[in-house]
Amino acid sequence: MTNHAKLNAWVQEAAAMCQPDKIVWIDGSDAQRDQLTAEAVASGELIKLNQKKHPGCYYHRTAKNDVARTEHLTYICMPRKEEVGPTNNWMTPEEGYRRAGEIFKGSMKGRTLYVIPFSLGPVGSVFSKYGVELTDSIYVVLNMLIMVRCGQAVLDRLGTDGEFTKCLHGKADLDDKRRLILHFPQDNAVWSVGSGYGGNVLLSKKCMALRLASCAARKEGWLAEHMLILGIEDPAGRIEYIAAAFPSACGKTNLAMLIPPESMTRKGYRIWTVGDDIAWMRIDTDGALWGLNPETGMFGVAPGTNTKSNPNAMATIRRNTVFTNVLLTENKTVWWEDGDGNPPAKGIDWKGDPWTPDMRDANGKPVLGAHPNARFTTPLSQCPSHTFRMEHHHGVPISAIIFGGRRARLAPLVYQSYSWQHGVFIGSTMASERTAAQYGKQGEVRRDPMAMLPFCGYNMAEYFMHWLQMGQQMTRPPKIFHVNWFRQDVDGQYLWPGYGENLRALEWILARCRGEAEGNATPIGYVPTPDSLDLTGLNLTEEVLQELLTVDREAWLKETQDIEEFYRTFNEKLPHALRDELASLKRRLTT
Ligand code: OXD
Ligand code: MN
């Protein structure tokens, strides 16, 4: 398959450690994919779904103890703890290789080792990085074929000595006491062992495209971010692009493919989805920031996805999709909580047990048919709104960067930072309140800077510094904004309708970028004047609009104390510019 000596030697080295029965190279062809799919169905690793209802779709269950990313078993392996900072788990590379090596040793006996060459970004683009994942899981192979560009074209591009990220994955015995997700930035390598759950094992995604890529991005002067990218075509036919970061459970995938409200569709608006999870962004010769989604697929959360919350996602997953840990019905269709339609009379739940909708657990709570983190893996090209620039080597120009969170009271619907530096401050203090779906006290605020807390591969204080420096290098930097779709009234009712209506805030954002919309200067940034938002067709009273746009000084002053405490975790490494921004915010709030 290749004359790349280092790649061949590394495959042999991994095989010597893991001792698979055979090695199969993934060429990216349909024929090989079909053959592997048939093998997975024969072994029971995949279940073929009703092909009339779900053409090209398959079903998979992970082990019960292996249903989400295991952040406490995820490490950055560097010689010194200080290099990974206070927000990452740390191990030395020696310890990492030793501990994982013991688990990998002989773990593939009786199994096949698949070699998956892949590209993040279109093959040959200046943005692109190449990787090779070794895995003993057919499920991983079939998911990777959806999520990234795989196969011979990548090997051809690598030639005899091209640089690639070494990604080694093994299921071992799926024992969570023998599970480790290790990153070795110095060696451009990832070792993941003991898991079969997507976020831990599709190593192109969180491990390479975020954790390792964030390290490379700092060195090479670009940004690897946990952001969606969407294009907004306005009535004049102009398309402008926005990159946006939100913590989990804030509707990132929904926003990436929103359907404009009726009045805005009539006006002539249209959405183009570039990506729903990861953005790689570079400064181009025009002094502006250009971004690209390095992936080709979506690994989305199924529960909560329905025709109201995300019609485009529902259309996307109709074909050629792998469903993981959802409910399987008798006639081989799928269902999940908060999906479309009534629950089936019976089915097999995500654990593989018989299920009926009236089942209750020992505490009287409904037994879930689908795991709350059940997933679909689906090609982005099937999304009705997918960008026509998917293979564009140059990416798209980013006009605005949005940070967001779920705040019942504090943050207004939308506001604009005063500068790039102030925008970085806003991103670094991003926070969300816990919902009932998460462990911990409801309403408690969790800081998640740039939504990168679990994904920044180095000291986050240095990451903030990198963001500040990127701003200094651009002559036409994107403007930075913050949004909050989740503001509530005193009775806990949402004030803003959300979903497609969010485009109204995005319209204001883009108009601000062009200097065409009014904003009031407040202590926290520019907030829309009530007239500057197009709310046609929305029955929003003046009082509600007022509340959506208010800045409560008392509440914000309390927020600054919380930020101060959070900043303390970074010690003296925290950039002075961010301390200055905090001081300026306090001053604006008290004068
Ligand atoms: C994801 C995540 O799966 O952010 O995208 O956890
Ligand atoms: Mn994500």
Q: Evaluate whether residue 583 is within a structural domain.
A: yes
Task: Say if strands 327-329 and 334-335 run parallel, antiparallel, or are unpaired.
Answer: antiparallel
- Are 528 and 517 a contacting pair, CB within 8 Å? yes
CA 277 to ligand 2 center in whole angstroms: 5
- Same domain? For 530 and 510 the reply is yes
- Catalytic (active-site) positions: 250
Tell me which residue has its CA closest to atom 4 in ligand 1. 248
Q: Which helix (H) or strand (E) holds 232?
A: strand 228-233
Which residue do the tokens 């019942």 mark? 408
Same domain? 183 vs 266: no
Q: How far apart are CA 390 and CA 273, in angstroms?
A: 9
pLDDT for position 439: 52
Does the beta carbon of 198 sit less than 6 angstroms from any atom of ligand 1?
Answer: no
Say how far apart CA 382 and CA 297 lie, in whole Å: 9
As a whole number of angstroms, the distance between CA 301 and CA 175 comes to 24
- Listed in sequence order, the DSSP H helices in 287-388 are 311-316
Q: Is residue 83 one of the residues assigned to a domain?
A: yes
226 CA closest ligand 1 atom index: 4
Same domain, 313 and 194: no
Residue 455 lies in a domain: yes
Q: What count of other Cβ atoms lies within 10 Å of the Cβ of residue 472?
A: 9
What is the SS3 assignment for 429? coil
CA of 509 relative to ligand 1 center, distance in Å: 26
Residue 342: inside a domain: yes
Question: 397 C-alpha to center of ligand 2: Å?
Answer: 22
Residues 578 and 468 in one domain: yes
So what's the pLDDT on residue 442? 62
| Beta pairing partners, 311 | none
β-strands 112-120, 129-135 pairing: antiparallel
Backbone φ, ψ for residue 165 (5° rounding): -85, 130
Question: Which residues span the domain enclosing 182?
Answer: 5-45+73-220
Is 66 part of any domain?
Answer: no
Report the SS3 class of residue 360. strand
Does 52 fall in a domain?
no
Distance 271 CA to ligand 2 centre (A): 21
State residue 424 phi and psi, 5-degree precision.
-65, -40
Q: Is 325 contained in some domain?
A: yes
Q: Write the CA distances from 478 to 290, 397, 470, 509, 514, integer angstroms.
A: 10, 9, 11, 11, 11
Q: Is 248 in the pocket of ligand 1 (CB under 6 A)?
A: yes
Q: 147, 195, 197, 206: which to mutate for ligand 1, most atoms within 8 A of CB?
A: 206
**Statement to judge: residues 410 and 550 lie in one domain:** yes
Q: Which of 379, 407, 433 is the last residue of a domain?
A: 379
Within 8 A by CB and 6+ apart from 365, the residues are none
31/165 same-domain check: yes
Ligand nearest to the CA of 68: 1
Mutate to test the pocket of ligand 1, among 71, 252, 253, 277 (most ligand atoms within 8 A of CB): 277
Domain match, 414 and 453 both? yes
CATH of the domain at 480: 3.90.228.20
| Helix (H) and strand (E) counts in the chain | 16, 31
Beta strands 74-77 and 89-91: pairing type?
parallel
Ligand nearest to the backbone CA of 227: 2
CA nearest 576: which of 409, 367, 355, 425?
425
Domain total for the chain? 3
Ligand 1 mean position, distance from CA 121 (Å): 19
336: domain CATH number is 2.170.8.10
Average pLDDT per consecutive 10 residues, the chain (591 residues; last block may be shorter): 96 98 98 98 98 98 94 97 98 98 98 98 96 98 98 98 98 97 98 96 98 98 98 97 92 95 94 98 98 97 95 98 98 97 97 98 96 96 96 95 94 98 98 68 85 97 98 98 95 94 97 97 97 94 96 97 97 97 98 90
Distance 340 CA to ligand 1 centre (A): 22
pTM score, two decimals? Answer: 0.97
Three-state DSSP state, 393: coil
CB of 276 closer than 6 angstroms to any ligand 1 atom: no
Task: Find out whether the beta carbon of 377 lies less than 6 Å from any atom of ligand 1.
Answer: no
Computed from CA positions of residues 307, 310, 311, 316, in that sequence, does the dihedral angle turn out positive or negative? negative
- Based on the fold, state whether residues 275 and 352 are members of the same structural domain: no
Instruction: Return the residue whose CA atom lies nearest to atom 2 of ligand 1.
Output: 248
Q: The domain spanning residue 145 has which CATH number?
A: 3.40.449.10
On whether both 434 and 519 belong to a single domain, the answer is yes
Does ligand 1 come within 6 angstroms of the Cβ of 277? Answer: yes
CA dihedral 223→258→434→486, nearest 10 degrees, is 110
Which ligand has its closest atom nearest to the C-alpha of 301? 1
Q: Are 229 and 279 in contact (CB under 8 A)?
A: yes
Task: Give the residue from 170, 196, 220 where a domain finishes.
Answer: 220
Rounded to the nearest 10 degrees, the angle between the axes of helix 460-473 and helix 576-590 is 80
Q: Could you tell me if 54 and 322 are in contact, meaning their C-beta atoms sit under 8 angstroms apart?
A: no
In angstroms, rounded to a whole number, what is the distance separating the alpha carbons of residues 344 and 322?
20
Contact 283, 222 (CB under 8 A): yes
Smallest-distance ligand from the CA of 69: 1
Per-residue pLDDT, 26 = 98
Distance 554 CA to ligand 2 centre (A): 33
Name the DSSP class of 571.
Answer: G
For residue 311, the one-letter residue type is P
DSSP 8-state symbol, 243? E
**Number of other CB atoms surrounding residue 541 within 10 Å:** 8
Identify whether residues 140 and 190 lie together within a single domain. Answer: yes
Nearest CA to ligand 1 atom 5: 277
Beta pairing, strands 149-150 & 112-120? antiparallel
> Which atom of ligand 1 is found nearest the CA of 451?
4
Structure tokens at 133: 């994942």
Within a domain: 51? no
Q: Kindly compute the dihedral angle of the four CA atoms of residues 322, 323, 328, 334, in this order, to the nearest 10 degrees.
A: -90
Q: 32 near 187, Cβ under 8 Å? A: no
Residue 547: phi and psi, rounded to 5, are -65, -40
Beta partners for residue 167, in sequence order: 133, 190
If one counts every other C-beta atom within 10 angstroms of the C-beta of residue 453, the result is 17
Ligand 1 atom at minimal distance to the Cα of residue 248: 4
Same domain, 435 and 457: yes
The residue type at 299: F
Co-location of 168 and 269 in the same domain: no
> Which ligand 1 atom sits nearest the alpha carbon of residue 199?
3
Among the candidates 220, 248, 275, a domain finishes at 220
